[in-house]
C-alpha cells in the first residue's frame, strides 16, 4: 500500500491530526514559514518584474531537511498548512523546495476533527497559484515600503524605526483621534430632570423624567440662566401623566464570531489584547489534550471574515438548545446572518467544533486563559441560534404647564439568548444601556404625580474617546484596512515600536509616534491615505480571484512610489524647531537616541552639533547645557600621564583621559565611604589550559559578560570562539540566567511564524 505524508504548520496540529489517520499516513510539521525574503537586504529584483529572492529562513534548514527526507519515502504528499494566503504560501514554497509537484495535493482543514480531516484527505485540491501570488504581492509590497522608507526615518529621527504599508495607516488613525481630542472645545449645556412618584407610592419607588420640550419646542438649554428661567416657570405646576406607551421590543441574537468581533469581544469582556487572543485561539484550533480522548481541535479556523455556519453544526447546536433550554428558546428556523460584501467568505465563522463539549466539562484540561476564550466562543455560538430577548418597554410622558417630560424604562420579559450570553459594550455604550434598563411604576394616562425634586444639571460635551484595541480593530475593519489575519500584528507592531502606548486599556500616540506619522505624511501621502490603503486591499483580493496580475499591480504602485522615494529626502524635513544651530546657524531638529529626544543640526552629517533639551511647563523647548567634565589632576592617566576626567555614560560615571580621542584610556571607578575615588582595575582573565579552542587549538580564558561567566579564545579577535560556563567553571549548554536576548528573539520569531 502506498505511503502518504501530510505536512502541517505546527507540531500541536500534527499530533491532533495523526490520531485520526491510519498508519499509512505520516504527519510532519514545518513549524511555520520555511522560505522568505532575506532579512539582510531588499530581496526584490525591481527591474526584473519584482522577482523575489527567496531564501531558507535562518534556523529552519533542519525542518526543511526533515521534510525532504520524509517526502522521499512518500508516494503522495498532502500540504495541509492553514487555509489562508499565508498557509498557501507555506504550501507553495514547500512543494517547490521538495520538488513534489507531480505528487503533491492541497488539503484545507477548517476544523481539526476526525470527520473534517478525513473528508479533506478524501477530497484534495490543487495548490492555488492566484492565492499564492496574492500573498506574494502583499509580501513584496510590504518589503518595498518597509525596506525603502524605514532608512529615511533612521536618518531623520532615530535608527531602528520602521514604516509599514498598513501599520503606518493604523498609526495615523490613532494620531488623528488624539489630535481631535486635543482640539476639542467643550460646549456647555444643561438638562432638567424631575423626580416623580405616585401619591400612594413610597419615595423609594420614584422615577426620573427628563425635560424634552418647553413651550412646544425641543429643549436646548445653553446656560444656567436659561435653566433657571424654565425651572421657575414650571416649579409650581401640576405634573400629570399625558401618555403611556407600552410595547414589546425584540433584540435578536448576534452572529457567531469572526476574527474582528472575537478580538473586540475578548478585549471588552476578558481584557485580552488582540495578539494574545489570536495566540490562544491558535492553540484551541490546533488541538488540546483532553485526557483519555487525546488531542482534540476545539474550535474552527480563527482567521475568517464570514458568519457562515455548516448545516451539520447548525443541526447540532439546535439540538443542544432544545434539549438544554426548551422549545421556547429555539427559533422555528435556524437564524441566518448576512455576510458582508467585502468578506472573502473562505471559511466558516469561529465556533466550537463540538457543541456538546461544554466549557465546564473540559475546564480541567485547559489553562485559565484558554478556558475563558473557549467559553466566550462557545457561548456566542450557542446564543446565535436562540430566540430573541423580549423587553417590555414603557415610555411615559408627563405634562407640567408649558413643559413636557419623558421617562423610558425596559424590563426583560423573556430572556431568550441572554440565558447563555450577552455582548460586552464599550464603556460609553454600557453606561447608556444601563440608563435605559430600569423599571417604571404601573401608571395610567391622567394620573397626578407628586414632585419630589426638580433641578437643572450642568454638562459639557465630551471629546471622542481614545481607541481601545477592540474599537481600533472595529475602525480598521470598517475602513477596509488590513484583513482578519493582520489585525493583531498591526496593533501589536505599533505598540512594540513604541509609537502607541496602551494605558488603562486605551491607546494614545507617543511623541515618537506623532513624529513618525507626520514625517510619513510629508513624504508619502498616498501610502498614508486610508482610502488608498483600503483600495490596495481590494486589489490584493482581486489578485487572489484571478482578476489582476500581481506584477501589474506592483508596477502600478511602484511608479508613483519610486518618485516619492526620490523626493522624500527633501520633503521629509524632520521635526524642525525655531532654534538655530550655534555652529552653522541651520535650524535644529528633534531626533531620538538611546537616552531619548535631543536636538541635532539639520545639516548632519556635515554639522554634527547636538544639544540636550527639555520641555518647560508651556511645552516650549529649553536647551540643557551639559556640565563640563570634572578634571581630576590627582588622577593621572596610566598611559599618557594627562589628567583623567569624570564623564557620564548611560551606565553611570567613569574616568576617561582628558586627551580623548588621542588617548582612549578609560577606567571604571567607585567612591569609598569617605567620598574618595577608587579606580577599579580590570581583572586579568584566568587562562584555562584544560579547555582548548576546537577552532584554533589555543587555550580558552575565563571572562565575565553581561549574561555571566564564559570562556573565550585567547586568540581573540582573530578567533571569536566562546563557550558558556557555570559558576564552577564547567562548560554548560546555556549561560546562567537565560539564553540571551538574541536567542529569545529568534525563538519568538520562530513561534510567530509557526502560528
Q: Which residues are catalytic?
A: 301
Residue owning grid cell 485540491: 125
| Whole-number Å distance between alpha carbons of 342 and 541 | 9
Closest CA to 492 of 278, 754, 181: 278
Grid cell for residue 336: 441566518
| Whole-number Å distance between alpha carbons of 632 and 643 | 6
| Whole-number Å distance between alpha carbons of 752 and 36 | 14
CB 602 within 8 A of CB 589: yes
| Whole-number Å distance between alpha carbons of 487 and 507 | 15
Neighbours of 403 (CB within 10 A): 22
- Read off φ and ψ for residue 751, nearest 5 degrees: -65, -40
User: Cα 596 from chain centroid?
Assistant: 25
CB-based contacts of 258, cutoff 8 Å, min separation 6:
304, 305, 306, 307, 343, 349, 350, 484
CB 585 within 8 A of CB 609: no
One DSSP character per residue, 105-171 reads EE---SB-SHHHHHHHHHS-B---HHHHHHHHHHHHHHHHHHHHHHHHHHHHT-TT----TTHHHHH
CB 677 within 8 A of CB 671: yes
CB 38 within 8 A of CB 56: no
The three state secondary structure string of 635-679 is EECCCCCCEEEEEEECCEEEEEECCCCCCCCEECEEECCCCCEEE
| Whole-number Å distance between alpha carbons of 695 and 714 | 12
CB-based contacts of 444, cutoff 8 Å, min separation 6:
241, 244
DSSP type of residue 742: H
Amino acid at each position: 500500500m502506498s505511503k502518504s505524508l501530510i505536512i502541517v504548520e505546527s507540531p500541536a496540529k500534527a499530533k491532533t491530526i495523526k490520531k485520526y489517520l491510519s498508519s499509512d499516513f505520516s504527519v510532519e510539521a514545518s513549524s511555520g514559514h520555511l522560505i522568505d525574503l532575506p532579512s539582510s537586504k531588499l530581496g526584490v529584483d525591481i527591474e526584473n518584474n519584482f522577482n523575489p529572492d527567496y531564501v531558507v529562513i535562518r534556523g529552519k534548514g533542519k525542518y526543511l531537511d526533515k521534510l525532504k527526507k520524509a517526502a522521499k519515502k512518500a508516494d503522495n504528499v498532502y500540504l495541509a498548512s492553514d487555509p489562508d494566503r499565508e498557509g498557501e504560501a507555506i504550501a507553495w514554497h514547500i512543494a517547490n523546495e521538495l520538488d513534489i509537484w507531480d505528487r503533491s495535493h492541497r488539503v484545507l482543514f477548517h476544523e481539526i476533527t476526525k470527520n473534517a480531516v478525513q473528508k479533506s484527505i478524501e477530497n484534495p485540491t490543487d495548490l492555488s497559484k492566484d492565492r499564492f501570488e496574492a500573498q506574494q504581492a502583499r509580501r513584496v509590497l510590504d518589503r518595498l515600503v518597509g525596506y525603502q522608507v524605514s532608512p529615511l526615518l533612521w536618518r531623520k529621527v532615530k535608527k531602528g524605526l520602521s514604516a509599514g504599508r498598513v501599520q503606518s495607516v493604523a498609526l495615523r488613525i490613532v494620531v488623528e483621534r488624539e489630535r481631535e481630542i486635543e482640539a476639542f472645545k467643550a460646549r456647555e449645556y444643561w438638562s432638567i430632570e424631575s423626580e416623580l412618584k405616585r401619591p400612594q407610592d413610597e419615595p423609594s419607588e420614584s422615577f426620573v423624567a427628563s425635560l424634552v420640550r418647553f413651550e412646544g419646542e425641543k429643549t436646548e438649554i445653553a446656560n444656567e440662566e436659561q435653566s433657571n428661567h424654565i425651572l421657575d416657570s414650571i416649579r409650581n405646576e401640576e405634573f400629570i401623566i399625558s401618555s403611556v406607551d407600552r410595547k414589546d421590543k425584540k433584540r435578536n441574537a448576534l452572529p457567531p464570531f469572526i476574527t474582528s468581533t472575537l478580538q473586540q469581544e475578548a478585549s471588552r469582556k476578558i481584557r485580552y489584547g488582540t495578539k494574545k487572543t489570536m495566540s490562544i485561539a491558535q492553540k484551541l484550533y490546533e488541538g488540546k489534550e483532553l485526557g483519555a480522548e487525546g488531542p482534540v481541535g476545539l474550535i474552527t479556523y480563527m482567521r475568517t471574515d464570514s458568519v457562515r455556519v455548516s448545516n451539520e453544526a447548525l443541526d447540532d447546536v439546535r439540538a443542544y438548545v432544545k434539549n438544554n433550554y426548551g422549545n421556547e428558546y429555539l427559533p422555528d428556523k435556524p437564524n441566518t446572518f448576512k455576510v458582508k460584501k467585502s468578506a472573502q467568505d473562505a471559511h466558516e465563522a469561529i465556533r466550537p467544533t463540538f457543541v456538546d463539549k461544554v466549557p465546564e466539562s473540559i475546564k480541567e484540561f485547559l489553562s485559565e486563559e484558554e478556558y475563558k476564550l473557549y467559553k466566550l466562543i462557545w457561548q456566542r455560538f450557542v446564543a446565535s441560534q436562540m430566540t430573541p430577548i423580549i423587553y417590555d418597554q414603557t415610555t411615559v410622558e408627563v405634562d407640567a404647564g408649558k413643559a413636557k417630560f419623558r421617562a423610558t424604562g425596559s424590563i426583560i420579559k423573556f430572556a431568550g439568548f441572554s440565558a447563555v450570553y450577552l455582548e460586552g459594550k464599550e464603556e460609553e455604550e454600557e453606561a447608556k444601556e444601563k440608563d435605559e434598563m430600569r423599571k417604571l411604576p404601573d401608571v395610567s394616562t391622567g394620573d397626578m404625580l407628586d414632585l419630589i425634586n426638580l433641578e437643572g444639571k450642568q454638562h459639557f460635551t465630551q471629546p471622542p474617546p481614545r481607541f481601545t484595541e477592540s474599537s481600533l480593530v472595529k475602525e480598521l475593519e470598517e475602513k477596509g484596512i488590513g484583513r482578519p489575519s493582520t489585525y493583531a500584528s498591526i496593533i501589536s507592531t505599533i505598540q512594540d515600536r513604541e509609537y502607541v502606548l496602551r494605558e488603562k486599556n486605551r491607546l494614545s500616540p507617543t511623541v515618537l509616534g506623532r513624529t513618525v506619522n507626520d514625517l510619513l505624511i510629508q513624504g508619502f501621502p498616498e501610502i498614508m491615505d486610508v482610502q488608498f490603503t483600503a483600495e490596495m486591499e481590494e486589489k490584493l483580493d482581486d489578485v487572489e480571484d484571478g482578476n489582476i496580475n500581481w506584477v501589474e499591480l506592483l508596477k502600478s504602485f511602484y511608479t508613483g512610489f519610486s518618485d516619492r522615494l526620490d523626493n522624500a529626502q527633501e520633503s521629509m524635513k524632520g521635526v524642525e524647531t525655531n532654534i538655530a544651530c550655534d555652529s552653522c546657524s541651520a535650524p535644529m531638529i528633534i531626533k531620538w537616541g538611546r537616552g531619548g529626544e535631543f536636538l541635532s543640526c539639520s545639516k548632519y552629517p556635515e554639522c554634527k552639533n547636538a544639544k540636550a533639551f527639555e520641555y518647560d511647563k508651556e511645552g516650549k523647548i529649553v536647551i540643557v547645557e551639559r556640565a563640563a567634565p570634572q578634571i581630576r589632576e590627582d588622577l593621572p592617566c596610566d598611559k599618557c600621564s594627562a589628567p583623567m576626567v569624570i564623564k557620564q555614560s548611560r551606565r553611570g560615571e567613569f574616568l576617561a583621559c582628558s586627551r580623548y580621542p588621542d588617548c582612549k584610556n578609560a577606567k571604571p571607578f567607585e567612591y569609598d565611604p569617605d567620598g574618595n575615588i577608587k579606580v577599579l582595575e580590570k581583572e586579568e582573565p584566568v587562562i584555562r589550559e584544560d579547555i582548548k579552542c576546537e577552532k584554533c587549538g589555543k587555550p580558552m580564558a575565563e571572562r565575565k559578560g553581561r549574561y555571566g561567566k564564559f570562556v573565550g579564545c585567547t586568540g581573540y579577535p582573530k578567533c571569536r570562539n566562546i563557550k558558556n560556563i557555570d559558576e564552577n567553571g564547567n562548560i554548560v549548554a546555556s549561560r546562567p540566567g537565560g539564553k540571551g536576548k538574541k536567542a529569545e528573539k529568534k525563538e519568538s520569531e520562530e513561534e510567530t511564524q509557526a502560528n
